[in-house]
Amino acid sequence: MTGEPLLKVDGLIKHFPIGRKVIGPGGLATVKAVDGVSFELARGETLGIVGESGCGKSTVAKTLVRLEEPTSGTATFEGEDIFAMSARRLRKLRREVQIIFQDPYGSLNPRMTVGDIITEAWEIHKDTVPRRQRKTQAQELLERVGLDPGMINRYPHQFSGGQRQRIGIARALTLRPKIIICDEPVSALDVSVQAQVVNLLEEIQDDFGLSYIFIAHDLSVVRHISDRVGVMYLGRIVELGNEQQIYEEATHPYTQALLSAVPIPDPDESAVAKANRIVLEGDVPSPIDPPSGCHFRTRCWKADSRCAEEDPELIDRFAHGHPSACHYAAMRDPVA
């Protein structure tokens, strides 16, 4: 993981104009879907990106392959400016950077057989796999993702949700990408199936030389697969770190709140742990009119006037390689 990052994103902003008047100056309203996101992805790395629904995760993903045009900011792939790429160069980028979406139902054409779904890209890009080898290679790919190659003539509806996501993974691999952006690939699946799909992605990573951006709305989903995790809130990454830094030593109040939310009632939870639990008040503010300064300040127990005035930058305050976008970033007292 030396040398320049495979992907480098700097100050990415995507505001969607929505053609609605806002009160006061400023003209038309915009949805500030992505409001200043910076990160790097190294070769072979898996970067988890976690945040509640609507915080801008998918928009970041789409902007990186120009399915959405950015409002401002820069992004480079192998040192090349993604936002300045010609249409021709962009076609190549979309081979090198694949996205797997959440919904395996919606993203597979119900009228195509699995074989056709997998070989489609080879038909379009004729310089990739010669016609005579397509069927065998498709079967090999099916086997590689844990499906019976004998099922090559079946249709998507004949498979379970988890199997369909495996087909989606096989399809993403056909053009030998360098990056796969997994946009909530397991969110629609039963919990028991989620781990199997995550494990598959992990198993194939080295063999195919892949780097991943793994998007989820739940910190627990990305924990084991990620080398680093970025936590997003209202269009911004608020904290970025490795497993220990995020799950044991979180310094941003929002990350701490996410981690202390206990989804399943635990009868063994101690009274001290209960007392230490952070319950976030209120809802996520609208991205049309996010709070000034720190976007999280309206729900933060540490916020003061400085937080309303000054945008906290995502910087490494303690020189531990663990940036946090909070003026008052600090580790919580250990919970007894």
> Minimum distance from CB of 318 to ligand ADP (Å)?
28
Picking from 63, 125, 133, the residue whose alpha carbon sits closest to that of residue 91 is 125
> Minimum distance from CB of 152 to ligand ADP (Å)?
33
Choices 21-29, 56-64, 173-181, 242-250; region in contact with ligand ADP by CB under 6 A: 56-64
Picking from 99, 83, 85, 98, the residue whose alpha carbon sits closest to that of residue 11 is 83
Pattern 44-83, Mg ion, x by CB under 5 A: -------------xx-------------------------
173 binds ligand ADP (CB under 6 A): no
- Of the residues 5, 287, 312, 323, which one makes contact with ligand ADP according to CB under 6 A: 287
> Minimum distance from CB of 231 to Mg ion (Å)?
15
117 vs 181, beta carbon nearer Mg ion: 181
The pair phi, psi for residue 72, each rounded to 5°, is -165, 175
Side-chain-facing half-sphere of 47: CA atoms under 13 Å = 26
270 binds, among Mg ion, ligand ADP, none (CB under 5 to 8 A by kind): none
- Of the residues 13, 44, 54, 302, which one makes contact with ligand ADP according to CB under 6 A: 54
Quote the CA–CA distance of 57 and 243 in Å, as a whole number.
20
CA angle 316-257-48, nearest 5°?
55
Give the strand pairing for 72-77 and 97-100. Answer: unpaired
Q: How many CB atoms lie within 10 A of CB 52?
A: 15
Quote the CA–CA distance of 195 and 201 in Å, as a whole number.
10
Q: Are 51 and 215 in contact, with CB atoms under 8 Å apart?
A: no
58 vs 63, beta carbon nearer Mg ion: 58
Q: How far is CA 282 from the centre of its chain?
A: 25
285 binds, among ligand ADP, Mg ion, none (CB under 5 to 8 A by kind): none
- Of the residues 6, 12, 47, 55, which one makes contact with ligand ADP according to CB under 6 A: 55
> Minimum distance from CB of 16 to ligand ADP (Å)?
4
Choices 48-56, 119-127, 195-203, 275-283; region in contact with ligand ADP by CB under 6 A: 48-56
- Of the residues 7, 29, 31, 216, which one makes contact with ligand ADP according to CB under 6 A: 31
The helix (H) or strand (E) run that includes residue 97 is strand 97-100
Picking from 182, 187, 179, 139, the residue whose alpha carbon sits closest to that of residue 162 is 187
Residue nearest to Mg ion (CB): 58
> Minimum distance from CB of 58 to Mg ion (Å)?
3
Quote the CA–CA distance of 161 and 169 in Å, as a whole number.
12
Give the strand pairing for 236-242 and 228-233. Answer: antiparallel
> Minimum distance from CB of 38 to ligand ADP (Å)?
17
Which residues here bind ligand ADP, judged by CB under 6 A? 16, 18, 31, 33, 51, 53-59, 287
